[in-house]
Amino acid sequence: KPLYFVAIVQDITARLEGERALQESEERFRSAFEEGPVPMSLPAPSGRILRMNRAFADMLGRSEEEIVAGSYREPTHPDDMPASLAAADRALADPRPQHFEKRYLRDDGSVVWADVSLRLLRDADGQPLYFVTIAQDITARRRAEEALRDSEQRLKVAVESTQIGLWEWNVRTGRVAYSREWKALLGYGEHEVADRFGEFERLTLPEDAVHNAESIAVYIARPEGYHTSEFRMRHKDGSLRWILSRAAAVEVDDAGRAVRLVGCHLDVTSRKQAEE
Q: Average per-residue pLDDT in the chain?
A: 86
Q: Which amino acid, residue 270?
A: S
User: pLDDT tens, 115-137?
Assistant: 999 999 888 888 898 899 999 99
- Which residues in the chain come in under a pLDDT of 50? none
**Residue 148 confidence (pLDDT):** 83
**Residue 23 confidence (pLDDT):** 67
Please name the residues in contact with 119: beta carbons below 8 A apart, sequence gap of 6 or more.
Answer: 91, 95, 96, 97, 98, 131, 132
pTM over 0.75: no
**Residue 22 confidence (pLDDT):** 63
**Residue 10 confidence (pLDDT):** 75
Q: What is the DSSP secondary structure assignment for residue 5, as one 8-state letter?
A: -
